[in-house]
Structure 1
């Protein structure tokens, strides 16, 4: 199924893509091979994921089998360390080289705030106290104008935003000189349904993509170990009684119910999995429809901001950036 845009006549984005964050190279390569064989044609990655090279190698093998580049929709992202006009070309070049592509279908500003970086490692600079070194001069409009030039050069087809709030989206949309944002990619699942943000995007004609549509169960171990998150931070959406009841009613898996809930509302999804059976299962959701009553029951699970998993506070001091996009949690 293809998602089209009200803004761009030639915009066609597969409504299901394969998310690729947080997995080993071997798992990513196998996952992409499985996904492509099943029928996925949308692959989502980012410079920050550190997996563009293995994705590029895997895609090249697929192209070498006789498949065409235009069959695929590839999304990648400008990293937080590249949120300056002078760095746009550098990081786009790196992504194109790693992915072994001549153009990117959708290029997103990954995060609305900016960091300075270590020139040797191309990772965020951290000061002696463990704080990330913030570039507080982040200028979305200047970055966007530079990205528009890359579209004109043919190196990007469409532009979008990720993790931006309503004010930031309106700023780019209303002031873009040539090209409006085609897509907004945000954390979106049963506990964080972002209704106001989705309504704004509907009004503006922006397509919404949901990352972590299952509550990111695969990222739990990573965040607990690396950033000392509490395991309870990650919701067990697959364990909810109402999801189990609806699953039994339609004879579909728990994950298929949660994904269908989003797709039926016109939301693009990019579930990530390294399990071949799960990858196939996530794609097999077009042979049934949830009733309006069941959709409404799932809508009731929304916890608003309390349901957010990824607030980026694991980057020490990031809340001090003027473009930090989220409402800060209240301190006890």
Structure 2
């Protein structure tokens, strides 16, 4: 069985999608539709920058989604495959969960772009710049990371945001607490703590205003039926009911991304081959988490031609 997975924030880079758009009308249509939905020239920013504008959360989130869906559309329209026929499950890391739901037909492309623009804006607005922070713990398992977060909190918010794989966990919360966590890593047997260049403390209780904004948005734009079952970030388990999808997407804004557990659970559910569309960030995490599985990253036209021989 195969799972298609979709990357999260941090996988954006200048030039993303340019080669695809040049080679494929199907890819160009995706970028044009997203531009039209957002009322901005996002694809131009993706192609040419400037980098600081692309990195803005409200631009990076729809851009990463558009790039991944463009790869999928080329596979489907020019490769003649159907995701529903080739995938047992879909999953995505944080914003990638929206991409996965778009791929599975729960949201239209235009709605997904608008929801991610709002999500990015709401997350940025939830906490004033400088109040929150995030750090990556390298050489940390979930038990050590949790103990460190509790020790560093001292009354502030300091929680596990992303359980990425057995060697990498991300903490999120008040900046003072995150600084304390980085200073305390050696005491907890953790190799390194690295402050992340993010503009807000994602996936922690400080994001509650953004969760409220998304709950309101889903009342107007609820998810529809899924053609392929989703492994949800906050539960690391299968979800197919649109009402559950809606609830879990709201919880995801303040909740933990259980990516390590999701990879293990997908393997246990019979997934032998993971295909990452639009990035190569998740591939090493999956290998470290799920062990003996096949993983393929599909970004370029050459990647698409290669994967079509396997599908």
Q: TM-score, normalised by structure 2?
A: 0.31
Q: Which has the higher contact order (CA 8 A, sep 6+)?
A: 2
Question: Which structure has the highest helix share of the two?
Answer: 2
Q: TM-score, normalised by structure 1?
A: 0.30
